[in-house]
Amino acid sequence: MTPLSCLLIVLNLASVLMGRDLGWAQTIREESEQTARYLTTLLNAGRLVIEHNQPLINDPQKGDKGFTPETFEREILGEFFRLTSIDVNRPPAHLPALAKALLPILLESSKHVVADAQFVINQRGIGYKNFIPATFGSQAARKFSNRSQVKMKQTTLNPRNLKNQPDAYEERALKQLAAQPSSTGPVTEWLDDGKTLRTVTPIYYSQDCLVCHGDPKGTLDISGYLREGAKEGDLAGAISIQIPLNNP
C-alpha cells in the first residue's frame, strides 16, 4: 500500500467516525426538542382539563365534586391523545426515550396538584377557589422541575404571581413572541455552546380569559388582581422549558 492510499484510508475512517458522532449529536438534539414539545403539550392539556371543569370546580352549591386525581388523569390522557395521538401509558416505539421517561413524571406531578387541592375543590358555599389553569400550571411545572433535571415554568412579562417572573432569556423570548404573529410558533434555541435546550412556547388569550385579564384595565377581577386590559389574541405568557444535554 502506498503512503498516499494509507493516508486516504485514515482520512476516510476519521470522516466516517466524525459523521457518526455528528449524527448522534443531531439525534439527541432532535429528541430533546421533541420532548420539550410533548412536555409543553401535556402541561397545556392539564390546563385545558381545569378550564373545562371550571364551572364544576367553582360550583358553590356542590360539596364533593368527584373531580378526583383519577378523573383528572383520565381527562388529561384523553386530551393529550387528542392532541398528539400518543397514549402516555402505552408509548409508541418512535417516542424518544427522554419523553418516555419524563411524560409520566409530569403526569404524576399534575395529579399531585389535583390531589393537594381536593379540600379546596370540595368546599361548599365558596364559588371562586383560585384553582384555575394558571395556578394548576405553575404548581405542576414546579413539582415536575423538582423531580427531574429538566426545568419547566409558566411565565410572562409583568406576571401577577412573582414566582412566574421571567429570567433574562425568557424576557427576551417573550418580547420576541409579543412582536411576531401568533402563527410563528415557539422560540427554540441551544445555549451554553449547545449544552442547554431552551424553548419558550406562547400562550394567547381567548375570549374566556378576558373576564379576568381584559378590560376595564386596572380594575379588580374576581381573583383579586388588577385586570391587564388584554385583548383576545394577545400574548398571555409562555411555557418555558430547559433541557440539559446530559439529561435527565
**Cell 386525581 belongs to which residue?**
69
Nearer to ligand HEC, 95 or 228 (CB): 228
Cell of 167: 429570567
Number of residues that bind ligand HEC (CB under 6 A): 26
Nearer to ligand HEC, 109 or 156 (CB): 156
Nearer to ligand HEC, 80 or 136 (CB): 136
Q: Exposed, middle or buried: residue 35 (CB in 10 Å: 0-12, 13-18, 19+)?
A: buried
Smallest distance, Å, CB 152 to ligand HEC? 13
Q: Residue 174: how many CB atoms within 10 A of its CB?
A: 22
Nearer to ligand HEC, 27 or 158 (CB): 158
- How many Å apart are CA 108 and CA 117, to the nearest integer? 14
Q: Which amino acid appears at position 70 of this protein?
A: E
Considering the rule CB under 6 A, would residue 86 count as an interface residue with ligand HEC?
no
**Among residue numbers 115 through 174, which ones bind ligand HEC (CB under 6 A)?**
132-135, 138, 154, 156, 159-161, 164
- How many Å apart are CA 67 and CA 55, to the nearest integer? 12
- How many Å apart are CA 38 and CA 148, to the nearest integer? 15
**Among residue numbers 184 through 223, which ones bind ligand HEC (CB under 6 A)?**
203, 205-206, 208-209, 211-213, 221-223
**Cell 430533546 belongs to which residue?**
32
Interaction site with ligand HEC (CB under 6 A): 51, 132-135, 138, 154, 156, 159-161, 164, 203, 205-206, 208-209, 211-213, 221-223, 225, 236-237
